[in-house]
Structure 1
Amino acid sequence: MDGLFPRSRAVVAPGAVHVPGWLSLDRQRELVAACREWGRGPLTYEHTVLPGGGVMSVRSLCLGRRWVPYRYLDAVEVELPPWLCDLGRAGVLEAYGEDSGFAPDACLVNFYDAGAGAKMGLHQDKEERSRAPVVSLSLGDRCVFRFGNTENRGRPYTDVELASGDLFVFGGASRFAYHGVPKVLPGTGDPALGLSGRLNITLRETGLQRLQR
C-alpha cells in the first residue's frame, strides 16, 4: 500500500475510472510549468464568488470556453491548447479502451493552496449539454477525492486518494455524480515538481456551439 489507499487501477463506479500514476514525472513538470504560464495573464487564478455570496477556497482559471457559476459564457480569453485536448483524448482512451471522439472545449484549472486549507464541496458538473466524460488530472499534493452518487450529496460515496500524476475519468452512468475534495494532504507532493499545494486540471466537452474566432 502506498499512502492511505491501495494504488491500483480501479473502476470506482460504472463509468468512473481511476488510473494511478498515469502521467510521467517529466509530463507532470511540463503541466505545472504550463499552469504557471497560464496564470500570468490575461487571466489569473482567482477565488470564484458564488451567486449566494460564498467564496470558493480554491483559486481557478479557465481555458477555452469560460465557466462561471453556473453557466458557460460565449467567451474565450485563453485558448485551450490542442496538445491539452490530445492529452484529454488519450485519458479517455486509457480509461475506456476506446476512442470516443472526446472533443473538449473547456478546461478548469483549480489550485488548492497548501497552507489555506482549500477544499471543494460535493457538486455536480451539469452545465454541459454534452454527456461526454470529464477528464481530471492531478498534480502536486495528494488529496481525498470523494465520488458520490447521482441523486444527492449523501451516501453512498467512495473516497479515493488522488496523487500527482493520477488520471480520473467519469462518464456514462456516473457522468453527473456528485464529487468533491474534502481534504488535501499538505507536503505530500514530489519535491521535484517544485509545487506547494495541489493543481487539478479538468477537461470538459460543453456541447455548446463552437465560437467563431
Structure 2
Amino acid sequence: MQGEGPSLGRRCAFVRLGGCNLSCRWCDTPYTWDWRGVGDTGVAYDPKVELHAMPWRDVLHRLVAYRVGLVVISGGEPLTQQDRLVPLVRALVDSGHGVEFETNGTVAPIPELTGLARFTVSPKLAHSGDRRSRRLVPAALAAFAAVPGTAFKFVCRTPADLDEVAAVVDGYGTEPVWIMPEGRTGDEVHRTLGELGDAVIARGWNLTTRLHVSVWGDRRGK
C-alpha cells in the first residue's frame, strides 16, 4: 500500500533499491544505504545481507504476480540506477501498470523515463543533516518541475519548517506541494500532523499522513 503523497491508500507493489547519495539522519529505510551507522538509530547495516541483485525480467515477473495496478520504485535513491531501470519500466507500462518513482530530487530524470512514469520528489530540508549543496540541486529540481504530473513532498518536523519549504518553492518552482510529518510511530505522525495541519492549509498546500506507519509502525515489509 502506498502510504504517502498523491497516491496514498492505493494498493501497490514496491521495488526498493539500494544505495543513496544522501544520508538523512531520520531516514526510515536506512537498511538500503547506511553501512556506517550515521543515521539516528546508529545501526550499521550490511549490504551483503540487505542487497540482492536480480535480473530485471525476474523483477517484472514478481511484480506482475502481485496483480496490482501501481508499482512504486523507491530506495535509497532509485534514479542513481535509472538507466538500468528503463527496460523494467517500459515492460510494466506495456503490461498496463502505472509506475511512480520516489526520489530525493538530486538526480535529474532521463527522457526515457519522463514519458513513462510519474515522480514524487522529496527535496530534503536542513534537519536531514546533509549540507544544502548536496540536498538541493537546482538543475535537477528544474528538470522535475518541467515534467507534467510531478509532485513535491516535503518531510517536516515542526511548523517552523514550512518557512524553509516556502523558500525552496519560491526558489525552484517545486509545485504542487505536499507536506508530510516525520515520524517512525503512529503517535509521532499523528502528533506532528496535528501541529502542521492548519498552517499547511493556510498556505494553500496539500497535506499527507504516513498511512503505513499508522497501520504497521516501523515494521519492515517482507
Report the TM-score, using the length of structure 2 for normalisation. 0.29
Report the TM-score, using the length of structure 1 for normalisation. 0.29
Query: Quick check: which has more Rg, 1 or 2?
Result: 2
